[in-house]
Structure 1
């Protein structure tokens, strides 16, 4: 196995673990989304300042490139806030696969904005991913009938669309700056937005009043450090190997999230929010997750 393949797999698994930990913290351990964002953004800011000191912007970087990088960071931050908000009411093993339909929007935007054309296999991939999204959105009601999670599904698709826009603008910026620069610019945008949303006296009182604050803080530090490691592993894989193949590997993150969430709820029941572990639900979720993963791979490998 090539080095970049192993690095991409490690980065994908790491970020999958971060998704599950985010869901646990937001859905079970903290009283509100703001109470999660305030300490998380504080620690992210410390990590960002270190990276910014070690990897300053190159001399003579253009204003257009800098604007694209900042726009990418702001748009991605909005996308992440939407995703984190969904974690408070929905299962991570449902939310993450739907969120990772964003390569569909990347492919669709590439036609009018980048002058690219889609082949038959890529359109087939879009159809496969849409089918997976519809399948994974199915829920059984109390009477045994089928119901659809309309609003959460629409919010997740909006988050996926924003993430795709961030990728397109970020691709432009990476033509002139390094992925290290993109990391700290994006993180600064994320921190500013998170603190603007969560920096309130009432939120600070909520956090300080939490039981076992030291243990919870250590878990959050571990989670945010893990997130940085996962992102940098993926960036390193992109630097060493073909971007299309690395993207196909990282697009399989929902599959890792599904199995990890399932394993955690088997070993530690109740640690994640309302995960249905019935045989029918598991098989349905697995089929939908695999469809989305196959669709992502087809888009990037076609």
Structure 2
């Protein structure tokens, strides 16, 4: 599979997880940390998966993978907090700043460089993200929730570059399994050492079957998307794989638009100005994808 296509499909799947995040946090009014601890619970399934697949513990890279688990948790918690403050499509738009950090770090730490057409595509996609992340009131201002997302962006950039580094030794399947198990171990520690979070998780667990349906859907979409993204990073440029995330807010917007008639929590601003802004951003995304594929 073409690694660019793999990344785009991965981000389409991630958009489904964004919708679930927004729906869960809006409906159950729980803290982001308790929600995340509950959401990571199905990752225990990777324990038998590792045994069945005969995967060996990657001792030389174990500490890097464990560190990635912690970095991933912190970045996700910052993102979830921002998700409580703003529309899902706007949050994911600001997230598009992450590729700038990735571009810088990958060049410094990995010596990665891009072709002219790749740079053109990169900045067209980045422009789409900027275009979606601003709002017009009395001038242009960055939304308050963007501060949390920017902090998450810097951590996600570290995560992406580290995944590119270990992809030279581990396969995408191994990265998926071990990174998810590292995250599961970290959230297990949180669960047993923080009574307040444990009570919140129990409260969620005692509800109807609906939270479990959401979490299992999140588990499937999130891990399938992560596998495709990891494959893209391993086979291609981590900078381009990251900036292709500019497609994600478009997928989020489309999903929210389709589901908002049935799910009250997903209602957003669908006025004419918003639709025009998102349509123009989509044109930038298409132009960026064309530029990237011009030399692939």
Normalized against structure 1, the TM-score is what?
0.78
Q: How does 1:291-302 map to 2 (within 5 A)?
A: 291=284, 295=288, 298=291
Match of 1:182 in 2: 175
- Aligned-pair CA distance for 1:197: 4.8
Q: Distance in 2 between matches of 1:298 and 1:5?
A: 12
**Cα contact 1:16–1:253 (8 A) shared by 2:** yes
Residue in 1 aligned with 2:51? 53
Pair 1:82 & 2:78 matched: yes
Q: Hey, what does 1:271 align to over in structure 2?
A: 265
Q: For residues 285 and 20 of structure 1, do their structure 2 counterparts lie closer, same or farther at Cα, with a shift above 3 Å needed?
A: same
Alignment pair present for 1:201 and 2:199:
no
In the TM superposition, what is the alpha-carbon distance from 1:4 to its structure 2 partner? 7.3
CA contact (8 A) 1:56 1:181 kept: no
Report if aligned partners of 2:17, 2:221 keep a CA contact under 8 Å in 1.
Answer: yes
Structure 2, gaps ≥5 residues long:
none
- Write out per-residue CA displacement over residues 87-142 of structure 1, whole angstroms, 9 at most, x where no aligned residue: 1111111111321343332222233223344555455455445543443232344x
- Is the CA contact 2:75–2:155 (under 8 Å) kept in the aligned structure 1? yes
TM-score, length-normalised on structure 2?
Answer: 0.79
Partner of 2:281: 288
Q: How does 1:1-302 map to 2 (within 5 A)?
A: 10-44=9-43, 46-58=44-56, 61=58, 63=60, 65-125=61-121, 127-141=123-137, 145-197=138-190, 200-209=194-203, 212-235=207-230, 242-244=235-237, 247=241, 252-265=247-260, 267-268=261-262, 270-272=264-266, 275-288=268-281, 290-291=283-284, 295=288, 298=291
2:101 & 2:258 partners in 1: Cα distance? 31
RMSD: 3.5
Q: Which moved more, 1:199-208 or 1:221-230?
A: 199-208
CA contact (8 A) 2:135 2:141 kept: yes
Partners of 1:296 and 1:190 lie apart in 2 by: 32
Q: CA–CA distance in 1 between the matches of 2:52 and 2:46?
A: 10
Helix, strand or coil: the match of 2:269?
coil
Identify if the C-alpha distance between structure 1 residues 110 and 33 changes in structure 2 by more than 3 Å, giving closer, same or farther. closer
Gaps of at least 5 residues in structure 1 are none
Cα distance change of structure 1 residues 73 and 160 upon mapping to structure 2, 3 Å threshold: same
